[in-house]
Chains A and B, each alone.
Chain A
Amino acid sequence: MNAALRISVSSLRAHKRRFAGTFFAVFLGVAFLAGTLVMGDTLRAGFDSMFGNAAEGTDAVVRSADTITTPGESQGVRRPVDTALVKTIERTPGVAAAAPDIQGAGQLVGSDGEPVGGQGPPTLAGNWIDDPRLNAYRLAEGRAPAKSGEVVVNRGAAEKGHLKIGDTTTLRTPDPVPVTIVGLATFGGEDGMAQVTFTGMTQADAEKYLTAKPGEAASIRVRAGPGVDQRALVKDLEPALPEGVEAITGQESAQENTDMISSQFLTLFTTFLLVFSGIALLVATFSIHNTFAIVVAQRARENALLRALGASRRQVTVSTLAEASVVAVIASAVGLAGGVGIAAGLQALFPAIGFPFPEGELVIGALSMLLPLAVGVVVCLGSALFPAVRAGRTAPLAALRETSVDRSGTSRARAVVGGGLAALALGSTLTGVLADPSLWLAGLGAVLALAAFVVLGPVASTTAVRILGSPLATLRGVTGGLARRNALRSPGRTAATASALMIGVAVVSLFTVFGASLKATMDQTVSRSFAGDVAVSTPSFGAGGSGLSPKLAPAIARQPTVENAVGLGRGVAEVNGSGRALTVTDPVTLGKVFDLGEVRGSLAGLGTDGIAVTEQEADRQHLRTGGTARLTFTDGEQRDFTVRAVYGRSELAGDYVITRAAWAPHRIQDSDTLVAVSFKDGVSTADGRAAVEKVAQRFGNPEVQTRDEYAQSSAGGIDMMLTLVYALLALAVLIALLGIANTLTLAVHERTRELGLLRAVGQTRAQLRAMVRWESVLVAAFGTAGGLALGAFLGWVLVKASDGASDSSFAFAMPPVQLVVVALVGLAAGALAGLRPARRAARLDVLRAIATE
């Protein structure tokens, strides 16, 4: 054991360079993983203290007890409470102060005319609570709003919109409200609650613009008198509250807020990052395994000598594993430090890009250190296991043989196992996609397909490299020919090196194909359902934005060029007990501007007691025309509605349609998400659009888009997501490239004498460099081609399985341009990976290379 360790340590010292690639692969994977965990913990702790600070003075929150949650939404809609309740509460013993908290959507327009925020986090507006201890926001500069039109905004939002005290701008509620900024506020010591924007107005303004009727508030904040703790306060309050209204402690409220941001943002964010560190580590596994396999092969004579001198199999295996452990532990430990560095860097970087990362110490939990450390060591040792066992099996006689022959490419067993896996993968996915739609079967198939690709790699690599490399010999002469043959030399090694890149490229292509398919789906939806000429919308995504004024559609409809204009609002209600989103609109015009498919019954007569339902939803809820559905609104009112029409297509119109008149008594803050416009015959798109834009100008300047533009912007979030995904996958691709570079460096080392010979008989340095580079490009081309094929297949599986498993129909699209770009990037990356080994090879001393032993 001691001898084995001594050997491994001295061999590590002698071959430091060989392990540089392994070291970086482990380091990057562990650093990314640790960084993600540390950042997640730090963010969570930051939000925790932020909400804690903000809610410090609030001892209890009074609000309505019920929420209505629609499918696919984590946060329900809560009914407002009566502001008159404030008086009752103030009279309750133990209460020092109470204030209504009116909240709604309000999007500021920046000094450049562009809306502030709206891409993700909510854009909120509310009443400015004068009691500073009840207000979650603190006045940092200026003063509180005193009269109508005056507002306080959080400092982060002001900076983003380049607004300062004294500026006049527009607040979309969604009706444009002219406001003057009189103060800037902070939230829990920060410039804002993450990226949420907040505009505080007078209570009168808030009631006027943010609620459907005066006298309503989202909740009432209560402060306890001296000596009354939060629990006692809640107990005191409870008897005073009407039915359907509840009181919770300030702490519980803060906790709810933290939980909400955790579930909506943090968990998603960290899971997302963890998935990508998983991919990076998977790629690293291939790189590491390959390095050890090559090192063991190169050291066959050395190991054979050890065996001949009496070392046991176990000793040789253990010494190789010991080497791996040393690399693993050092690289993982350095990786942990790197991870903390990444988290610290992001903490510094986020505020710079306008994302207020809560201040405070980095939270370095035991789990965030132990988990990446364990993963790093396990990945490294696991990858080295097979090569180590092979090292132990070295026959003592191998010391006398020149080199061993690589048979991995030609193994029949491999071809049979790989073929079997591929067949299973195909069978499972086809069943899961076509015969019996099941995401589970399709997913299993995807994993099997990946395994089949990896197993079949060496079998396929000979043929693939031969084909991919054939233009090279013709184009680049003997240099290209030599590169091609070098790539063909060791099919197992070529395949293992390429596999790492293949996985990276496969995931990139998968997302590319899936993204393009989602866009195509949007496109298909819009072109199938949207019969209008232009759409007016506020481009937003997530909870941001304030929507459109309900007055916009009627104003547009009055234009002489416009045939029809219909606004689509959103409401929620429980239909026969389950939460559902409602489309609040003018059903008759809706039928004209949207293609609703086959309509049974009539959209004309919905009135105040009728609804229209899609066929699919009608089936699910067992509704039919003439039937009755019981709707429970957020204000608690229950009403029976008659189903007057059943329509075929729900894509843009939603599952339920209700008239504005029927919705009005239950509305909260009125806004439309979309206004669809069709022009009169003979009106050109340009003329019609100009007219609509002129009207839109008066309503906070929302965007007016043609059908195509609307389809594209509906998919805007997808591009943003893809960019993020690509950035994260760059890490996996980088590790794969390190793997290629490392393999090549080892190969160059192995071929020292051959390279020396080539140089002696007249290969110039430039030719030698080109030869190594082209080999690198070929290996990368093989990996890229495999990755594209696998990624496209997995993309197809994902799209088809989603299509089969959900109600909405998905279109499949292969984006040729993007995939060509992926291919080119893969090749360029290969050339890049070859640079350093090529330079090293070219620096080779001819004499030393050809010197006889």
Chain B
Amino acid sequence: MTTTTATRDAARVTDAVKVYGSGDTAVRALDGVSVGFPAGRFTAIMGPSGSGKSTLMHCAAGLDTLTSGTARIGGTELGSLDDRRLTLLRRDRIGFVFQAFNLVPTLTVAENITLPMDLAGTKGSRDWIDALVDVVGLRDRLHHRPAELSGGQQQRVAVARAFAGQPDVVFADEPTGNLDSRSGEEVLNLLGRAVRQMDRTVVMVTHDPVAAAHADEVVFLADGRLVDRMESPTADRVLDRMKAFDAKGAPS
């Protein structure tokens, strides 16, 4: 799917700095972060509240712009794109799953899934979408409106929408934050299957160690800096690592 072969990172930020506000009230949400999200992998971004994990995801996904440093999707440098090109890039090469309010209430499930392609005026791959619908298990719900679905079902539709256009990378922002643990587990399994069985790339922001354990790798952020990485995480190890942040209190 990706046209670049020069890098194996589906998305990457280099020396990313993001400052909100100015003067005395300036806040450095990102303070020189460099991190790559390898293609074909499931990466989780973790960190305490205010660590800058959501900001990192927004900047990497072209929803927000960096104060300095670079963000790339494949070989494309996002800083050089205007709003229209950024939008088209999001539409064609990125998938999103948000914590809540993922679906357009006036559209049916089927229409929500194909929304990015409909916006582009393209058909997408019929077989792929068909397969996706079966994977997320929503075949009998295709003509329902979001309001008629449960929270877990809505998130599964969002997952299907995110992968429908076979994007380079799917960003998920606390996708299980509003779900009970069983529904959350289903959604995380879906994300995991997409990466391992369908060769997709997922970057997920979460504060839940159980959710992070579904990833191939966890990157830890604190105070806008990348502080640690963990391969093949388990919930216990992630929890211990997180506790270490708390024990340290306010880092230097």
Contact = CB atoms under 8 A, between A and B. Distances in A.
B104 A762 contact: no
In this complex, which of B83, B84, B87, B98 has the most chain A Cβ atoms within 10 angstroms of its Cβ? B87
Contacts of A261: none
A477 B99 contact: no
A762 B102 contact: no
B98 A757 contact: yes
Contact of B91 (A479, A485, A761, A847): A761
Interface residues of A, number: 26
A847 B115 contact: no
Interface string B45-80: 000000000000010000110000000000000000
A531 B239 CA distance: 104
Contacts of B102: 757
Contact of A765 (B87, B90, B120): B87
Instruction: Please indicate which of the listed interface residues A485, A488, A762, A847 has the most CB atoms of chain B within 10 Å of its own CB.
Output: A762
B107 to A, nearest CB: 7
A627 to B, nearest CB: 79
Nearest to B115: A761
A478 B110 CA distance: 13
Given A847-B63, A852-B177, A761 B107 contact: no
B106 A477 contact: no
B161 interface: yes
Interface in A422-456: none
A478 to B, nearest CB: 4
A759 interface: yes
Contacts of A478: 111, 115, 118-119
Contacts of A818: none
A389 interface: no
B186 interface: no
Interface in A448-499: 477-479, 481-482, 485-486, 488-489
A850 B118 contact: no
B1 to A, nearest CB: 16
B106 A489 contact: yes
Contact of B101 (A488, A765, A850): A850
B63 A764 contact: no
A482 B107 contact: yes
Nearest to A764: B87
A758 B98 contact: no
Contacts of B224: none
A760 interface: yes
Contacts of B103: 757
Contacts of B88: 762, 764
Nearest to B58: A847
A701 B58 CA distance: 81
Contacts of B58: 847
Contacts of B177: 852
Interface in B208-251: none
Nearest to A761: B116
Given A489-B106, A847-B58, A847-B63, A762 B100 contact: no
Interface in A753-799: 753-754, 757-767
A274 interface: no
Contact of B106 (A485, A760, A761, A766): A485
A767 B87 CA distance: 11
B15 interface: no
Contacts of B84: 764-766
A762 B87 contact: yes
A846 interface: yes
Given A762-B87, A765-B87, A757 B104 contact: yes
Contacts of B87: 759, 762-765
A762 B92 contact: yes
Contact of B83 (A477, A757, A762, A765): A765
A771 to B, nearest CB: 10
B21 interface: no
A847 B90 contact: no
B105 interface: yes
A760 B104 CA distance: 12
Given A482-B106, A485-B106, A761 B90 contact: yes
A380 to B, nearest CB: 33
A759 B105 CA distance: 15
B23 interface: no
Contacts of A481: 111
Contacts of B119: 478-479, 758, 761-764, 767
Given A757-B104, A852-B177, A847 B64 contact: yes
B42 interface: no
A383 to B, nearest CB: 29
Contacts of A477: 118, 121
Contacts of B106: 482, 485-486, 488-489
B63 A846 contact: yes
B92 A754 contact: no
Nearest to B87: A764
A482 B99 contact: no
Interface string B171-193: 00010010000000000000000
Interface string B108-149: 000100011011110000000000000000000000000000
A341 B96 CA distance: 55
Of residues A482, A489, A760, which shows the largest number of chain B Cβ atoms within 10 Å of its Cβ?
Answer: A760
B91 A758 contact: no
Contacts of A485: 106-107
A748 to B, nearest CB: 14
Task: Identify which of A488, A753, A764 gathers the most chain B CB atoms within 10 Å of its CB.
Answer: A764
B192 to A, nearest CB: 22
Given A761-B90, A765-B83, A852 B116 contact: no
Interface in A703-731: none
Interface of A: 477-479, 481-482, 485-486, 488-489, 753-754, 757-767, 846-847, 850, 852
30 contacts: A478-B118, A478-B119, A479-B119, A482-B106, A485-B107, A488-B106, A489-B106, A753-B101, A754-B104, A757-B101, A758-B119, A759-B87, A761-B116, A761-B119, A762-B88, A762-B91, A762-B115, A762-B119, A763-B91, A763-B119, A764-B88, A764-B91, A764-B119, A847-B63, A847-B64, A850-B98, A850-B101, A852-B99, A852-B100, A852-B101
| 10 pairs of A and B residues whose beta carbons are closest in the complex | A762-B91, A485-B106, A478-B118, A762-B116, A764-B87, A753-B101, A852-B99, A762-B119, A761-B116, A762-B90
Given A847-B64, A850-B101, A852-B174, 4 more contacts: A478-B111, A482-B106, A485-B107, A488-B106
